[in-house]
Amino acid sequence: MERGRIIDRLIAIKARQGGGSAFRPAREASMMRALAERHRGLLPLDTVEGIWRIIISTFTYVQSNYSVHVDMSRGDAPMRDSARFHFGFTVPCVPHHSAGGVIDAVARGSGDLGMFALDGGAGAGAWWTRLCPASAPKIIARLPLVERPDHPAGMPVFVIAKPLAEGAARDVVIDCVSLDRWRGDYPDVLGALGAEIIGNAADGMGLSLLIARPGALDAGAIASALRKAGARDLKVTEVGAHAARFDSSVSP
């Protein structure tokens, strides 16, 4: 209730300043990591994270109503559990039957979020190419924010939103890379830079890769490495970014 009174004042201030997105992925990741790092005692971290997620997601909803569009094409409980664990029951959860359906819904909405598995679900193909246009939704988070064994909602998922003007996390940048065909050296040359291929699918007459790279690494370095490995007809387009993964089970 005390936080609610603060949010009331924040809403009034933002209205006078012309609004702005209520989502702050970088701040959320930083706050959750700090909570995990100082966690002590008998109260499980699962409970701490669950309470925190409900508070943040609900008050974000209070500031600016939004829905979460979720790909339920697999019909699996883990996706539903992930949506409710990370966004609670106050925020409307809208089911869809594909990652493409989620992307389209977020593109049509005024400020909604979308959520789907990292692989986009069965038969999704190169779903990330739909995020390439400048005005298209972009990846803003990878959940869960804190990874650990037996996480109650541990299914790795991407969260997308319309491009954020501020508050984005850029520890890891996600690129869509179109090129002529697959070559076996790609994983090694990218791995040497600290980047990795997280998606690979045919796209029209060529190949499309989804690549995660360190935020400090320029996209030009990715393109250069792939060209040295033989890639042709190369085009790199940024399709989002998210906070670095944090594993609470690993000692500092």
Tally the C-alpha atoms within 13 A of residue 241's C-alpha that lie toward its C-beta: 23
CA distances from 159 to 147, 176, 183, 223 (A): 16, 16, 30, 26
Tell me: do 97 and 149 sit in the same domain.
yes
Tell me: do 231 and 116 sit in the same domain.
no
pTM above 0.75, yes or no: yes
* pLDDT at res. 18: 44
pLDDT tens, position by position, 150-194:
899 999 999 999 998 788 899 999 999 999 999 999 999 999 999
Maximum separation of any 2 CA atoms in the chain, in Å: 59
Q: Do 155 and 84 touch, CB atoms closer than 8 A?
A: no
CA distances from 148 to 36, 56, 80, 247 (A): 11, 21, 19, 6
Higher pLDDT, 22 or 135: 135
pLDDT tens, position by position, 41-81:
999 999 999 999 998 898 888 888 899 999 998 877 889 99
Q: Is residue 56 part of a domain?
A: yes
Tell me: do 65 and 112 sit in the same domain.
yes
For residue 215, give the CATH number of its domain: 3.30.70.260
* pLDDT at res. 12: 59
What crossing angle do the helices spanning 77-87 and 45-63 adopt, rounded to 10°? Answer: 70
Tell me: do 129 and 36 sit in the same domain.
yes
* pLDDT at res. 9: 67
Tell me: do 147 and 197 sit in the same domain.
no
Mean pLDDT, the chain, whole residue set: 89
Tell me: do 152 and 85 sit in the same domain.
yes
Count the domains in the chain. Answer: 2
Does the pLDDT of residue 104 top 90, yes or no?
Answer: yes
Q: Which residue has the tokens 């996600």?
A: 174
Tell me: do 32 and 120 sit in the same domain.
yes
Instruction: For residue 82, name the pLDDT band (cuts at 50, 70, 90).
Output: very high
pLDDT tens, position by position, 198-248:
999 988 779 999 999 999 999 999 999 999 999 999 999 999 999 998 888
Residue ending a domain, choose from 145, 164, 183: 164
pLDDT tens, position by position, 1-20:
787 777 666 665 555 444 44
* pLDDT at res. 60: 86
Q: Is residue 201 part of a domain?
A: yes
Tell me: do 150 and 179 sit in the same domain.
no
Tell me: do 156 and 181 sit in the same domain.
no
Structural domain span for residue 226: 172-241
Residue ending a domain, choose from 164, 199, 227: 164
Does the pLDDT of residue 120 top 90, yes or no?
Answer: no
Tell me: do 115 and 180 sit in the same domain.
no
Tell me: do 56 and 129 sit in the same domain.
yes
* pLDDT at res. 15: 52
Cβ neighbours of residue 145 closer than 8 Å, sequence gap 6 or more:
28, 29, 32, 33, 49, 243, 246
The bridge status of strand 138-143 relative to strand 157-161 is antiparallel
Q: Is residue 137 part of a domain?
A: yes
